[in-house]
Amino acid sequence: MRRSQLFIKTRKEAPADEESKNAQLLIRAGYIHKEMAGVYSYTLLGKTVIDNLSQIIRQEMNAVGGNEVLMSTLQNKDLWETTGRWDDKAVDNWFKSKLVSGAEVGIGLSHEEPITNMLRSYISSYKDLPVYTYQIQDKFRNELRAKSGLLRGREFLMKDLYSFSRTQSEHDKFYEKVAAAYLMIFERVGFADDITYRTFASGGIFSRFSDEFQVLSHVGEDTIYVDEAKKMAINKEVYTDENIEHLGLNKGQLSEKRAVEVGNIFALGSKYSDALGLKFTDESGQQQSIIMGCYGIGVSRLMGLLAEHFADEHGLVWPANIAPYKVYLASLGEAAEVSKAADGLYEALSQAGVSVIYDDRDERPGEKFADADLFGLPYRVVVSQKSLEQGGFELKSRTSTSTEVVPQEKLLSILSDSRQD
């Protein structure tokens, strides 16, 4: 991608009405555009980060047996009335609308009801189970306060998986597989295991209790109590002596921390499947209830939290497997020799499969360097008269203060080597 063809423009200052660091950085770097409080659009750069996160999540969900689907955003009122979740007294953050006919519809905040209803057409026998379906889709929740950038949006991207099992034992085994997969996801995107905790919590509108996955953070809205040795935590909202004892924790060994919830899993039992008439016939011909679970990860929230944690005073510092591009290539000066060398290197990098933004604009070196830091790509490569005289191109890692001039063959080898990621 040539920078001259990229419609994105960076900003020196963040919007005055944006309080959160993640949104300030992402807006300044041109990754997102604020539409209104809690609602953001994604440019090419932002969408690529979202796609990279989604692909990691998709790989881990496929590995545990997930089948990816895409459900509708508009919700059938009748289904939610059947389970008792249509009334605003039960779920207070609905967005609702009306059809021309006057009929009410919901705008998707979760999909337990519609996915259960859909599977009535596909499940009848024990031979049809288990089923694990997931999607990566926008969700809409009418949050009272949306002031934390991508960490708390009214419209946000979410991965939600739903499991349908024959027995509680079958459900429990899958539940633990997903829990392990979640920890792998958070490690892969850049959150070390010493700051990521499986956390006992309230189930909210879904179930009595749940497991949250919390990342320790200075911007955390949640208070959790952590046992560092056991790698377990309990949310303040369920921090009682009874629950602490149930988890086998010692109150004296728990330390209070602030954290951001990045994922959650719920054991639903047969609450929704029974209400909506989804059952199966077992080997003896008897009708049995189906045991459900649901499993969510806020994809756009992950992006926001990564922006909070992987940044410095100059801008973003993306982990290599999340960054929208691997290299920021900048040519300095108007000399024909420099332009020719930069064009050639751009083609060579592209042919080698190295993703690159080529800053071919007629701008001052300081502006190009500032944008390179703000974008947060893993590497910056500079082509200048000076570097060519020294026999190559100037290479700098985003996390390093030092540079080196390397010839093209070595440069391609470094940037093409997957071990550098």
Has residue 395 been placed in a domain?
yes
Asked if 151 and 176 sit in the same domain, the reply is yes
Take residue 284 and report the two structure tokens written for it.
């003896």
Tell me, what DSSP letter sits at residue 290?
P
State how far the Cα of 421 lies from the Cα of 418, in Å rounded to an integer: 6
Asked if 66 and 154 sit in the same domain, the reply is yes
Asked if 30 and 145 sit in the same domain, the reply is yes
Asked if 26 and 120 sit in the same domain, the reply is yes
Q: Strand, coil or helix: what is 136? A: strand
> 209-216 and 131-140 as β-strands: parallel, antiparallel, unpaired?
unpaired
Asked if 26 and 65 sit in the same domain, the reply is yes
CATH number at residue 338: 3.40.50.800
Half-sphere exposure of 77 (CA within 13 A, CB side): 11
Q: Which of 280, 312, 344 is the last residue of a domain?
A: 312
Has residue 13 been placed in a domain?
no
Q: Which of 312, 341, 375 is the last residue of a domain?
A: 312
What are the E-state strand segments in 11-146? 32-36, 39-42, 67-68, 74-76, 95-98, 104-107, 131-140
Spell out the residues 6+ positions from residue 185 whose beta carbon is closer than 8 angstroms to its own: 56, 57, 60, 263, 297
Asked if 196 and 331 sit in the same domain, the reply is no
The total domain count for the chain is 2
Tell me, what DSSP letter sits at residue 51?
H
Query: Cα 170 to chain center, whole Å?
Result: 28
Q: Which pLDDT score is estimated for 420? A: 44
Q: What is the pLDDT of residues 90-126, one digit of tens each?
A: 999 999 999 999 999 999 999 999 999 999 999 999 9
Has residue 24 been placed in a domain?
yes
Asked if 287 and 193 sit in the same domain, the reply is yes
Q: Give the pLDDT means over successive 10-residue stretches in the chain (421 positions).
A: 88 87 96 94 97 98 98 97 95 95 96 97 98 97 87 95 98 97 96 92 73 94 94 94 92 96 95 97 98 97 96 96 97 93 96 95 94 97 96 95 94 77 48
On whether the CB atoms of residues 326 and 356 are closer than 8 A, the answer is yes
CATH number at residue 147: 3.30.930.10
Asked if 210 and 273 sit in the same domain, the reply is yes
Has residue 12 been placed in a domain?
no
pTM of the entire structure? Answer: 0.94
Q: Which pLDDT score is estimated for 144? A: 82
Q: Please enumerate, as own/partner, the contacts of 277-286 that have beta carbons within 8 Å and a separation of 24 or more.
A: 277/120, 278/116, 278/117, 278/119, 278/120, 278/123, 278/164, 280/123, 280/124, 280/125, 280/126, 280/128, 280/129, 280/166, 281/124, 281/125, 281/126, 282/126, 282/166, 283/126
Asked if 192 and 117 sit in the same domain, the reply is yes
Has residue 408 been placed in a domain?
yes
Q: What's the CA angle centered on 99, arms 96 and 101, to 5 degrees?
A: 140
Has residue 130 been placed in a domain?
yes
Has residue 235 been placed in a domain?
no
Q: Which pLDDT score is estimated for 351? A: 94
Has residue 145 been placed in a domain?
yes
Asked if 124 and 264 sit in the same domain, the reply is yes
Asked if 293 and 363 sit in the same domain, the reply is no
What are the E-state strand segments in 89-130? 95-98, 104-107
Q: Which pLDDT score is estimated for 259? A: 97
Query: Cα 376 to chain center, whole Å?
Result: 18
Q: Which pLDDT score is estimated for 398? A: 95
Asked if 301 and 370 sit in the same domain, the reply is no
Domain containing 344: what range?
Answer: 327-420
